[in-house]
Amino acid sequence: MPTNRFLTVAFYKFVDLPDFEQRRLPLLELCERLHVKGLILLAREGINSTLAGAEAGIREVLEHLRADPAFADLQHKEAWATNPPFRRMKIRIKKEIVTMGVPDISPTKMAGTYVKPKDWNALISDPDVVLIDTRNDYEVELGTFKGAIDPNIGTFSELPSWVDHAQALEARTGKKPKVAMFCTGGIRCEKSTALMRAKGFDEVYHLEGGILKYLETISPEHSLWEGECFVFDERVSVGHGLLQTSRPLCRCCRQPLPDGATESPLYEEGVSCPRCINKTTEIQKNGARERQRQCELAKKRQTDHVGAKMPVAVDSP
């Protein structure tokens, strides 16, 4: 039995949900009753979520979801934390559970071929395979697979344009190359491989379960992963075995701090970092300063402070 208090689970499923808006309130009430916190995205195309809480509460939420025929085969990944990864419970209604902005892309019908973590090294070691990291630039900065191409995108919705102009994806001897794609948990790859197939790429593969499943199951001595993996919660980043690393987070833009950022004159704890200092107004910065002051007071009192929502300096992936 793990000694850590909080069980964190991540899951998603592409499935047609015509009644997705009506699902929000009952699910929110269940999570709040069980003191489960985190974020659930609901859209016509499915569900995407990361939740954390006491083990019994998390297991009950998963059991509730799988009792629904739409989620009967729902798969999840889990990890343990000593501190609560989330401070609130939110359920958001969205157009897409992962925003690409390309109509008529259906991962349930068009996604590429799944490759299990145990077979991933062999695939990406093939010199004929073009390996693409589909994540945002600040995620890639922390770590990626050896030999992967970084599209240098700020949000996932920029990937389609990059694909249209990438020299690495140009046809060779009249044939489009084999492509392998990966992301944190697998959801962005389902859409990105569906996009590639829609663009005429026949041999498209993606890492089943994403980087997190790879780090969970592949030992460091057999790994082709280099660095850390950013996660969108208070853990910030994890390594092999999904062990939490010590990477700090900017409380304004919610992105990991680059090495040396805290020594920069552009860094102010809870207010700004070199990435986002020019992306918020002075009014927003003053609001963040007050929130940081309240957080520090709460810490001294050994109480939690949730406070007002922080300004969002960049788009969420």
The domain spans of the chain are 6-93, 107-227
Residue 309's pLDDT is: 43
Residue 109's pLDDT is: 84
Q: If one looks up domain 107-227 in CATH, what number appears?
A: 3.40.250.10
Which regions of 66-217 does DSSP assign to beta strands (E)?
A: 76-81, 89-93, 113-115, 129-133, 143-145, 178-182, 204-207
258 by Cβ neighbours in 10 Å (0-12 / 13-18 / 19+) ranks as: middle
Active site residues: 183
- Tell me the whole-structure pTM to 2 decimals: 0.81
CA atoms within 13 Å, Cβ hemisphere of 26:
8
Handedness of CA 226, 227, 229, 230 (dihedral sign): negative
> Alpha helix (H) ranges present in 34-157?
55-66, 107-110, 117-124, 137-140
Give the type of residue at 69.
P
Residue 5's pLDDT is: 85
Consecutive H or E run containing 238: strand 237-238
Residue 224's pLDDT is: 98
Angle made by CA atoms 23, 211, 73, in degrees to the nearest 5: 35
| Equal fold, 6-93 vs 107-227 | no
Rounded distance, CA 93 to CA 231, Å?
Answer: 21
For the domain made up of 6-93, give the CATH fold: Alpha-Beta Plaits (3.30.70)
Residue 258's pLDDT is: 82
CA atoms within 13 Å, Cβ hemisphere of 56:
3
Give the type of residue at 29.
E
Angle made by CA atoms 115, 118, 123, in degrees to the nearest 5: 55
Residue 172's pLDDT is: 82
Rounded distance, CA 111 to CA 107, Å?
Answer: 5
Residue 266's CB: how many other CB atoms inside 10 A? 12
Which stretches of the chain score pLDDT less than 50?
A: 1-2, 307-317
